[in-house]
Amino acid sequence: MDYLETLNPAQRAAVEQIDGPVLIVAGAGSGKTRVLTYRIVHMLKHDVDPFQILSLTFTNKAAKEMRHRVSQAVGPEAKNLWMGTFHSIFSRILRSESEKIGYPRNFTIYDSDDSKSLIKTIVNELKLDDKLYKPAAMLGRISAAKNALITAEEYLMNEEFNDQDTSSGRPKFAVIFKTYQDRCFRAGAMDFDDLLVNTYKLFANHLDVLNKYQHLFRYIMVDEFQDTNHAQYMIIKKLSAVHQNIAVVGDDAQSIYAFRGANIKNILGFQRDFPDVKTFKLEQNYRSTQNIVDAASSIIERNKDQIKKNVWTDNEKGDRIKVIKALTDNEEGKMVASSIFQEKMNSHVRNMDFAILYRTNAQSRAIEEALRKMNIPYKIYGGMSFYQRKEIKDLLSYYRVVLNPRDEEALKRIINYPTRGIGKTTMEKITIIADHNKVSLWEVMENIGQFGLKGVGVIEDFVTMIKSFQTKLEQNAYDVAFHIAKQSGVLKNLYEDKTVEGIARYENIEELLSGIKEFSVEETADEDGVLRPNRLADFMANVALLTNDDNNKNEDQDHVSLMTIHSAKGLEFPNVYVVGLEENLFPSQLSLNSRQELEEERRLFYVALTRAMKKLTLTFATSRFKFGQIIHSEPSRFLQEIDPQFLSFESLFSARGPQQESRPSPAGKTLSGLPKKVLQPAAKPSLPQKSASPAAANEEEFIGDDTSGLEAGMRVRHQRFGEGNVLSVEGSGDNKKSTIEFASHGKKILVLKFAKLKIMN
């Protein structure tokens, strides 16, 4: 079948428009990957050279999937595409051109642990308070500056930035930033943000290099464009300036990474930078039921900053979205576990058909406990990566030092592992000499005999060992990797540890070496286009650029998936539970300072809803443990914002198991009314009072009357809104609602199943 015949009209139009600037607004579940894939296929079938196509993604997983789909359609030509993450593509460019900006070709890429370790060292050297200058916070501010293309030198000279730091009690931040950048350069290392900043610098300061890549990349495609930051966008603009054949694909409604520097203005203002842009909207949702699609649309339409679209689906209408209230976070966990258990029994579905999404990682505790008690297997996504484990980082640090001896973070990690008699005092002396002479630790160690230090023999032996490893770097990746693991003593050290933990660490090293062996049988083209076996440098460049979603193992195991909503973006599940829908939790209390922040939280909620294919359940608790105390909470404003026709207010699940279908609740046990506080920042919570068990709190609740006979003209009293007149009552069952004019709060539409009202007459 012709690939174009498999596309709907909007998809086909986007695929066929291969020239000029193109904006493809792809709603949730609209077949975005299919469009991206076939767009490349269409180019190749119209004689576009694959070497001239640059396709940028945000994860290696996405790039791998897309390349696989293209190769199925066109064959081996797919291997010639420039396809990968921003960081992997820019790293590839920098490894060819890095010497022009003063870096070695085998520069090291620091991960966040390396960067935080270096910052911690700098803070200690400057004798600053490490509680005030926390490495993670310092790295976050450095990253924000780099993403905005602000260099350490520019930051240091900027009075406004320095005034901000002084007022925040961290006047030495600029010095930390500058020292950090100098140390990275001296170590021949770049962090992830440097891969962007240095690519931009390379193009800005070396027009011959920019011209080379502008003509190489005749066609540019960018996936998840709403997630790009300022630096990424500026590089893309430079690269596309000659041919203007740039296609960006994304959904402004799913822009949820502002905390990482993502700038929604890139997609909202794309037409301003490319006035000839042709815009295509993919509005048909193939993933979710009509109820879920319509409910999500009723939420996101409230945002002011957006590209208007009408997302729709031909799928079945489906069940209403369940909304369930719990008294505590622990009961919420039991409810969710019980619901999953019953759904599995009733519908004969697998654990992997379920996902539980939450706003913060801390919420997983109660969920995990409940799942364990019911013997439901689960997996938390976004946890520690395989490559972040200590034993793996230790051996990888050996490989880093062999490739780049100037890499000081890796060097400090392995200098006395396994123990070889190079102590802390010796390293402190070497560090002082290196700082005084403005050279790397390695340069001091290479010439250790000249500095009058005692006991230099062990240093000389270490240097000799590393240099002997370097003579083997032209061999295939596995041979040299195994040789280093063995001759360094790492394998022997781990093998001799017969504890359960020690055996696990040794098995992890075996797994790493097996991965390198698998990698080494593949081939890489050198600069002249000649194929050669993969080397250790190729493997290390690949490992350094892995994204979190690439490290999940045992994907075939049957388990319930637990993750933050941010981690769930791009995924889909038949059954989804979104938990913790309470004010100050979701939306987060930290995101209520401006309309822009609240709109990002609403987009995050939209992403959560649109992960569900068949069934969606929303839960909230009226009290939650925080820091050992009970904090009382109220339902999230987002629940109020969903059109009630798409909701079903279910009976509670208690620890005893599922109850019968919902029926009028006994006095004192009704669901509390949902607050309508759209765009109003929530007040800061007062300090929790002592005592207040959930049961006691429940007894003190405002007790409403039976509203089944409520009619227009009646007078009622609401706990929050006070007294008011009933203007109308419409709907039936769970969706019965009333319009009430309150004297002090104006007109409100309340869902009677949810509202608590006292009837005055």
Active-site positions read 32-33, 223-224, 254, 611
Other CB atoms within 10 A of residue 275 CB:
7
- Of 88, 390, 87, the closest CA to residue 260 belongs to 87
Please state, in angstroms and rounded to a whole number, the distance separating the CA atoms of residues 700 and 404.
67
Q: Which residues contact 567 (CB under 8 A, 6 or more apart)?
A: 381, 382, 548, 549
Q: Is residue 121 within 8 Å of residue 411, measured between CB atoms?
A: no
Query: Per-residue b/e over 563-572, b at no fewer than 16 CB within 10 Å?
Result: bbbbbbbbee
Strands 82-85 and 647-649: unpaired
Strands 623-626 and 612-621: unpaired
Please state, in angstroms and rounded to a whole number, the distance separating the CA atoms of residues 606 and 297.
8
Please state, in angstroms and rounded to a whole number, the distance separating the CA atoms of residues 203 and 206.
5
Whether the link from the prior residue into 50 is cis, omega within 30° of 0, is: no
Q: What is the DSSP letter of 582?
A: B
Number of H helices, E strands in the chain: 30, 26
Q: What is the DSSP letter of 200?
A: H
Return the axis-axis angle of helices 207-216 and 230-239, rounded to nearest 10°: 80
Tokens of 245: 């054949």
- Of 698, 731, 722, 748, the closest CA to residue 325 belongs to 698
Tokens of 661: 């279908």
Please state, in angstroms and rounded to a whole number, the distance separating the CA atoms of residues 673 and 753.
9
Please state, in angstroms and rounded to a whole number, the distance separating the CA atoms of residues 449 and 453.
7
Coil, helix or strand for 740?
Answer: strand
Residue with tokens 């669901």: 671
Coil, helix or strand for 744?
Answer: coil
Q: In sequence order, what DSSP letters do the residues of 58-123 get, joined into one string?
A: S-HHHHHHHHHHHHHHHGGGGGGSEEEEHHHHHHHHHHHHGGGGT--TT-EEE-HHHHHHHHHHHH
Residue with tokens 């009382």: 632
Tokens of 117: 């370790």
What is the chain's length? 761
Task: Tell me which amino acid residue 610 is.
Answer: T
Q: Which residues contact 686 (CB under 8 A, 6 or more apart)?
A: none
- Of 56, 57, 48, the closest CA to residue 77 belongs to 48
Q: Is residue 661 within 8 Å of residue 651, measured between CB atoms?
A: yes
